[in-house]
Amino acid sequence: MKDNTLDSFWLPEPISKIALHSDKLFYVELWGTCLILFAIVALLIYFICKYRITSKRRVACNQNDHNNKLEIAWTIIPTIVVLILFFWGAKDFLSLSIPPKNSMEIKVTAKKWMWTFEYPKANKQTVGELVVPINHPIKLIMSSQDVIHGFYLPNLRIKRDVLPNRYTVLWFQAEKIGEFQIFCAEYCGDAHSNMLATLKVLSTDDYNKWVKQSEENVINEIPLNELGRKLYKSKGCSACHSTGISKMSGPGWGGLFMSKKQLENGDDVVADENYLRESIVNPADKIVKGYPSIMPTYSGMLNDREIDAIIEYIKTLNEQK
Amino acid sequence: MKTEINYLNCSKGLKSWLFTHDHKRIAILYLIGIAISFLLGGVFAMAIRLELLTPDQLIVSSKVYNQLFTLHGAIMVLLVIIPAIPGIIGNFILPLMVGAKDVAFPKLNLWSWYFYMAGVLLSLYHLSTGAVDTGWTFYTPYSISTNTSVITVVTGAFLVGMSSILTGINFLATIHMMRIKEMGWFKMPLLLWAFYATAVIQIIATPVLGITLLLLVMERVAHIGIFDPALGGDPVLFQHFFWFYSHPAVYIMVLPAMGVISEIIPTFCRKKIFGYKFIAYSSIAIALISFLVWGHHLYVSGQSAFASMAFGLLTFIVAVPSGIKVFNWIATMYKGAIDLRSPFLYVLAFLVLFTIGGLTGIINGTLSLDLHLHDTYFIVSHFHYTMMGGVLIAFIAGLHYWWPKMFGKMYSERLARITCGLLFLGFNITFISQFILGTRGMPRRYHNYLPEFQSLHIISSIGAFIVGLAFFMMLYYLIDSLFRGKKAPNNPWGGTTLEWQASSPPVTENFDQTPEMRELYKYKSKDEL
């Protein structure tokens, strides 16, 4: 389990030295803000108590309306303070922005509403889960297939927009083993708030094991409905389909199996194994009435056992009801 | 008792209002249009806060939630906060303040209201044809691909922009040409300086928004390939265009608010404003620098690090003149004779909330920290502190200050004070919790969220409902004052600016004789009630 030793009231746990370092400036500015605010409120309260209007004193006793020395002081001092803060922030910004030369490259592809990660060196691909080794600089080369998304790693204090017409780059070095949240930060439509992913930081040994491990072994080892549940999360299904009956961008999976659905073209269809399989491979062919035709095809992204697993998982959702 | 003839009762019938050229009646028309828009935007805000009580769907689907926050933002920014102070307080008070009968171009003034209302009606109409779900920022390429009524809303925004330009032209001309002889530039009340600086931004920046929105419409209709990457366009270009207007627009909203505060503080401290020239010049400085900071909205957009650093530096520079104003306002209270009636209570609320808004702006504007805070609830909270805690509260302070002049009636002082306290409390509960949500990494525009964020969301929603209650109380006592309020004297607060020499409410021609220029912010004991 995750221990939250560095998890503070204000910020989620930083998992790199650079993140920890950039938090210093945050706390300087946060407590600076509180201090100035406190001073201003104290001054307001003091003035209100001390200089209240009375029946004897109907106008201010002191009509001094300017003091150039004071004005210059409270122009120059804040200017110097903000300049210091600017250069401090800019320095941290550059170290958070420029990837070291020996970084390992991972290609990130965003589309509504899932994250796909490709590992050129390991020749692997994952959906919804970014797997990296600990203490190694990682350079993400990101692009989008549709609208603008935003790749956001709160524990590393970084984010960058993911654009459809160019590559953007983000780098980090995770220094703690565990699983950490990834959000989409740039609004991208209906299931924006479900466009989540996990950063999985492994020890160097585990990472090498993961690289060598063939995908098929994993797939063949687990029972079907277990695998289906995993795929539901890791392949991005959860962004659009609930496991109950509530309607998201796509129909809910609860009670779906063998239910009767009306299609856009008016035909009726029973959601049996064949229909479910077809909907995974060729989703645009038979759209259930009332839903937009937005699901990408999973043809080529799932093998037969994986498709079986998802169908099996959908079946178990019937039994629970 | 004989009723006096004033601008409200001089003629009757709907026509006499809809075709009026009287700046005061046009101000009342704006008040009605803006109040309706505010009610609508407020209802959407309440619906959003209700939905966010639970991590999963509570009352609306994701699609509807996305429409709700889009409409809340677009209505509050474009239809309420930008036009509120110029449209209502500016139209009513500015000609009185310069000692004129009306604005320089009264017919144009009526036109600007019609443009505004056309924008309001178009945005109401589009609710029936599929409300937009793009966020009020209309970012491409999402706004090109969504199947909601983007074009209708964008046309509405275009018309509201038109209205804003016309108001700016009118104010600029009025301030230049129509001041009474004795009122030199540095004898102008500070509100006029603020409107002047605002008008400059309105006239220079708003056409850029118009062009951007037209390009967006052309992209959707004719696929010209300027923003759509599929056609070789650049979606980030839209962000540059959009913020080239929308960041100066922040100052279109804030500068008049600062002007209002600069009028109320000396009146209720019975003291000359401290640092008149510094406040006036800082308005102009803000207006100029505001054109050079738009890139701080794009730190994480893939903009070059060098550009981000240049924009970051300028962003910090523009914070200084706002700070100068706050220091001068507080210095004005020093050794004053402070009168704690409701307009001044609202000013105190403004000072605290605006300070929080400004200082958290520094945190956001810091390059390294923005990488974490960008697009989270931290930024949501920050701009609510400046836009609502700053501009809207200043507008409310101004409304309470000039209400007796506008309607000739006094509202319930007791209810006004209670409401001010409630509003201040509710506002801070709502948005301090959102600061913490943001620093803990909760992204904005999320319909569903992780369960760990729920308790802060519940606190925030409770605060929002308190704010909602406070606004209904305000609505009650302000409307109640029209029917049962005591008659207001001509100068209830002992103000020194010219509008207080007119009767309450003023006659159609404003003054029976040319008002007499008094030394600005020079208060006398006998002025007091």
pLDDT of residue A5: 58
Listed in order, strand segments (DSSP E) in A11-103 are none
Residues in B closer than 8 angstroms to A158, CB to CB, are 371-372
pLDDT of residue B337: 92
**Interchain pair A62, B271: CB under 8 A:** yes
pLDDT of residue A320: 60
Angle between helices B23-51 and B454-484 (to 10 degrees): 150
Picking from B57, B324, B368, the nearest residue to A75 by CB comes out as B324
Residues in B closer than 8 angstroms to A64, CB to CB, are 274, 335
C-alpha B398 chain-centroid distance: 12
The dihedral region occupied by B272, where left means phi > 0, alpha psi between -120 and 50, and beta the remainder, is: beta
User: In sequence order, what are the residues at sequence separation of 6 or more whose Cβ sits closer than 8 angstroms to the Cβ of residue A250?
Assistant: A240, A241, A291, A295
CB proximity A111 to B under 8 Å: no
Residues in A closer than 8 angstroms to B272, CB to CB, are 60, 63, 65
Picking from B312, B340, B522, the nearest residue to A48 by CB comes out as B340
User: In sequence order, what are the residues at sequence separation of 6 or more whose Cβ sits closer than 8 angstroms to the Cβ of residue B309?
Assistant: A90, A93, B367
**Interchain pair A189, B229: CB under 8 A:** no
B221 pLDDT tier (thresholds 50, 70, 90): very high
Identify which of A57, A47, A64 has the alpha carbon closest to the alpha carbon of residue B524.
Answer: A57
Shortest Cα distance, chain B CAs vs residue A182, angstroms: 10
Q: How far apart are CA A102 and CA B398, in angstroms?
A: 60
Which residue out of A193, A233, A248, A293 would a mutagenesis test of the B interface target, given it has the greatest number of B Cβ atoms within 10 Å? Answer: A193
Query: What residue type is assigned to position A26 of the chain?
Result: F
Shortest Cα distance, chain A CAs vs residue B56, angstroms: 10
Length reported for chain A: 321
Q: Residue B528: pLDDT above 60?
A: no
Picking from A26, A61, A86, the nearest residue to B335 by CB comes out as A61
Average pLDDT, chain B: 93
For domain A104-216, give the fold.
Answer: Immunoglobulin-like (2.60.40)
Length reported for chain B: 529
pLDDT of residue B190: 95
Q: What is the DSSP string of B435-485?
A: HHHHHTT-BSS-SS--GGGHHHHHHHHHHHHHHHHHHHHHHHHHHHHHHHP
**Interchain pair A189, B133: CB under 8 A:** yes
Express each pLDDT in B13-69 by its tens digit.
Answer: 999 999 999 999 999 999 999 999 999 999 999 999 999 999 988 999 888 999 999
Beta carbons of B104 and B178 less than 8 angstroms apart: yes
Q: List the structure tokens of A310.
A: 């998802």
End-to-end CA distance of chain B: give it in Å, rounded: 23
**Interchain pair B278, A189: CB under 8 A:** no
pLDDT above 70 covers a percentage of chain B that reads 98
Q: List the structure tokens of B523.
A: 């208060």
pLDDT of residue A254: 86
**Interchain pair B446, A37: CB under 8 A:** no
Residues in B closer than 8 angstroms to A35, CB to CB, are none
| Radius of gyration, alpha carbons of chain B | 23
Beta carbons of B27 and B88 less than 8 angstroms apart: yes
Q: List the structure tokens of B410.
A: 């006094």
pLDDT of residue A62: 77
Beta carbons of B411 and B403 less than 8 angstroms apart: yes
Q: What angle do CA B57, B61, B65 make, to 5 degrees?
A: 100
Walk along chain A (321 residues) and give the pLDDT tens digit of each residue. Answer: 345 556 789 999 999 999 999 999 999 999 999 999 999 999 999 999 999 988 888 888 877 888 999 999 999 999 999 999 999 999 999 999 899 999 999 999 999 889 999 999 888 888 889 999 999 999 999 999 999 999 999 999 999 999 998 999 999 999 999 999 999 999 999 889 999 999 999 999 999 999 888 766 667 778 888 888 888 877 878 888 888 877 777 888 888 888 888 888 888 888 888 899 988 888 888 888 888 777 888 887 888 888 888 998 998 888 764
Q: Residue B529: pLDDT above 50?
A: no
User: In sequence order, what are the residues at sequence separation of 6 or more whose Cβ sits closer than 8 angstroms to the Cβ of residue A63?
Assistant: B271, B272, B522
Express each pLDDT in B457-500 by its tens digit.
Answer: 999 999 999 999 999 999 999 999 999 999 999 999 999 999 99
Residues in A closer than 8 angstroms to B146, CB to CB, are 189
For domain A223-320, give the fold.
Answer: Cytochrome Bc1 Complex; Chain D, domain 2 (1.10.760)
CB proximity A8 to B under 8 Å: no
* Core vs surface per residue A46-62: b (16+ CB within 10 A) or e: ebeeebebeeeebbbee
Beta partners for residue A127, in sequence order: A116
Which residue out of B139, B306, B366 would a mutagenesis test of the A interface target, given it has the greatest number of A Cβ atoms within 10 Å? Answer: B366
User: Which H or E element spans position A131?
Assistant: strand A129-133
**Interchain pair A63, B272: CB under 8 A:** yes
Q: How far apart are CA B80 and CA B71, in angstroms?
A: 12
ipTM of the complex model: 0.91
Q: What angle do CA B405, B407, B411 make, to 5 degrees?
A: 90
Beta carbons of B17 and B433 less than 8 angstroms apart: no
Which residue out of A31, A59, A88 would a mutagenesis test of the B interface target, given it has the greatest number of B Cβ atoms within 10 Å? Answer: A59
Beta partners for residue A142, in sequence order: A108, A168
User: Which H or E element spans position A126?
Assistant: strand A124-127
Scanning the structure block, which residue is given the tokens 């009630």?
A: B529
pLDDT of residue A229: 86
The residue in chain A having the minimum alpha-carbon distance to the alpha carbon of residue B313 is A86
Q: Please name the residues between 282 and 311 in chain A that touch chain B, using a CB distance below 8 Å.
A: none
Q: Residue B113: pLDDT above 50?
A: yes
The residue in chain A having the minimum alpha-carbon distance to the alpha carbon of residue B336 is A60
pLDDT of residue B177: 95
Beta partners for residue A129, in sequence order: A198
C-alpha B481 chain-centroid distance: 24
Identify which of A160, A83, A14 has the alpha carbon closest to the alpha carbon of residue B362.
Answer: A83
Which domains does chain B possess?
Answer: 20-523 (1.20.210.10)
Q: How many CB pairs under 8 A join A and B?
A: 271
pLDDT of residue A216: 67
Q: How far apart are CA A22 and CA A28, in angstroms?
A: 10
Identify which of B73, B68, B43, B35 has the alpha carbon closest to the alpha carbon of residue B464.
Answer: B43
Residues in A closer than 8 angstroms to B450, CB to CB, are 181
Angle between helices B235-269 and B393-407 (to 10 degrees): 50
Task: List chain A domain ranges.
Answer: 104-216, 223-320
Strands across the sheet with A114-119, in order?
A124-127, A114-119, A104-111, A138-144, A168-172
Q: List the structure tokens of A221.
A: 């080892």
* Count of beta carbons in the 10 Å neighbourhood of residue A30: 19
pLDDT of residue A1: 38
Beta carbons of B129 and B147 less than 8 angstroms apart: no
Greater confidence (A317 vs B94) lies with: B94
Which residue out of A4, A86, A145, A179 would a mutagenesis test of the B interface target, given it has the greatest number of B Cβ atoms within 10 Å? Answer: A86
Beta partners for residue A143, in sequence order: A109
Q: How far apart are CA B464 and CA B474, in angstroms?
A: 15
Residues in A closer than 8 angstroms to B440, CB to CB, are 10-12, 154
B379 pLDDT tier (thresholds 50, 70, 90): very high
Residues in B closer than 8 angstroms to A32, CB to CB, are 359
Express each pLDDT in B254-300 by its tens digit.
Answer: 999 999 999 999 999 999 999 999 999 998 899 899 999 999 999 99
* Burial category of B517 from C-beta neighbours within 10 Å (exposed 0-12, middle 13-18, buried 19 and up): middle
Shortest Cα distance, chain A CAs vs residue B470, angstroms: 23
Residues in A closer than 8 angstroms to B337, CB to CB, are 51-54, 57-61
Are A104-216 and A223-320 equal in CATH topology?
Answer: no
Express each pLDDT in B159-199 by its tens digit.
Answer: 999 999 999 999 999 999 999 999 999 999 999 999 999 99
